[in-house]
Amino acid sequence: EIVLTQSPGTLSLSPGERATLSCRASQSVSSNLLAWYQQKPGQAPRLLIYGASSRATGIPDRFSGSGSGTDFTLTISRLEPEDFAVYFCQQYGSSPLTFGGGTKVEIK
């Protein structure tokens, strides 16, 4: 099973700042099959990125994904007030599908 470790656990930033979230895999993620989601309290997760770097439909271009192999990054170029949430990654390159523990982006 591929274990995904996300860091940091919490990121304290101000609106307008850049957020860089890390997702590290215990082994290489096949074909870079990695997705990122955003979740706000009481809401369903929202798909942001798939295939490590492809934005899902309707996702603003301030969200970008990068990386390959075992190291992946989600970058939010300029934080908007609605971006403060929990973000988690998911690999779907091998069974079982697994998720990271999440990074909370909070207002500083």
Nearer to other proteins, 14 or 57 (CB): 57
Q: Smallest distance, Å, CB 58 to other proteins?
A: 11
Q: Is the peptide bond before 96 cis (omega within 30 degrees of 0)?
A: yes
> What six digits make up the tokens of 50?
């798939």
Binding region for other proteins (CB under 8 A): 30-31, 33, 35, 37, 42-45, 47, 50, 56, 88, 90, 92-93, 95-102
Return the number of the residue (17 or 22) whose C-beta is nearest other proteins.
22
Closest distance between other proteins and the C-beta of residue 30, in Å? 8
Closest CB 43 distance from other proteins, rounded Å: 7
For residue 30, report the phi and psi dihedrals to the nearest 5 degrees: -55, 130
**CA gyration radius, the chain:** 13
Integer angstrom CA distances of residue 87 from 21, 90: 8, 10
Which CB sits closer to other proteins, 14 or 95?
95
| Start-to-end CA span in the chain (Å) | 35
